[in-house]
Amino acid sequence: MSEGMGRILLAEDNANDVELTREALSGHNLANDIDVVRDGQEALEYLYREGSYAGRTTGDPIVILLDLKMPKVDGLEVLRRVKGDATMSHIPVVMLTSSNEERDLVESYRLGVNAYVVKPVDFAQFVDAVTKTGNFWAVLNNVPRRVPMPGA
């Protein structure tokens, strides 16, 4: 994957899950393009180039993988902010979550999520789900590029 393909933003508070997700994506050469933030607050700072991400030079991520339950600002709130902002709403957002609670699913789609993936307990299935998602949004999906990327 070249720089021009853009980066994947993974918002996940659990280090184990971060590692497993990295491992799952690494099989498809996507691991090097992942930026990880550890909560919703950080995700928003990353997206809006604020705080510690004020000097970020990379363009908007090609896909955001959002954990639902996170400290400070949860995944649903990040989703709401992204989809409510005209400059961000084009970025595909995938919910990666332990929960298959219907209310979360319903709320996510109401807020405009692009995909909702329940992380299976079985690692093989987990890898399958994550790589498929990552591949689709990072490689196959043709995202409209409204915001020009500085590196392009």
Site residues for other proteins per CB under 8 A: 14, 16-17, 20, 23, 68-69, 97-102, 119-124, 126
CA dihedral 48, 50, 58, 136 (to 10 degrees): -40
- Shortest reach from residue 148's CB to other proteins, in Å: 38
Q: How near is the Cβ of 9 to other proteins at its closest, in Å?
A: 20
- Residue closer to other proteins by CB (options 98, 135) is 98
| Count of helix runs (H) and strand runs (E) in the chain | 5, 5
Smallest separation (angstroms) from other proteins to the CB of 69: 5
Q: Which is nearer to other proteins, 86 or 124 (CB)?
A: 124
Nearer CB in complex with other proteins: 14/135: 14
Between 60 and 104, whose beta carbon lies closer to other proteins? 104
**Where does the chain show beta strands of DSSP type E?**
8-11, 34-37, 63-67, 93-97, 115-118
CA 89 from chain centre, in angstroms, equals: 13
CB 118 within 8 A of CB 98: yes
The amino acid at 38:
R
**Amino acid (1-letter code) at residue 27:** G
Spell out the residues 6+ positions from residue 79 whose beta carbon is closer than 8 angstroms to its own. Answer: 66, 93, 95, 108, 111, 112, 113
Query: Minimum distance between the CB of residue 123 and other proteins, rounded to whole angstroms?
Result: 4
Smallest distance from other proteins to CB 22, Å: 11
Cβ closest to other proteins, residue 23 vs residue 77: 23
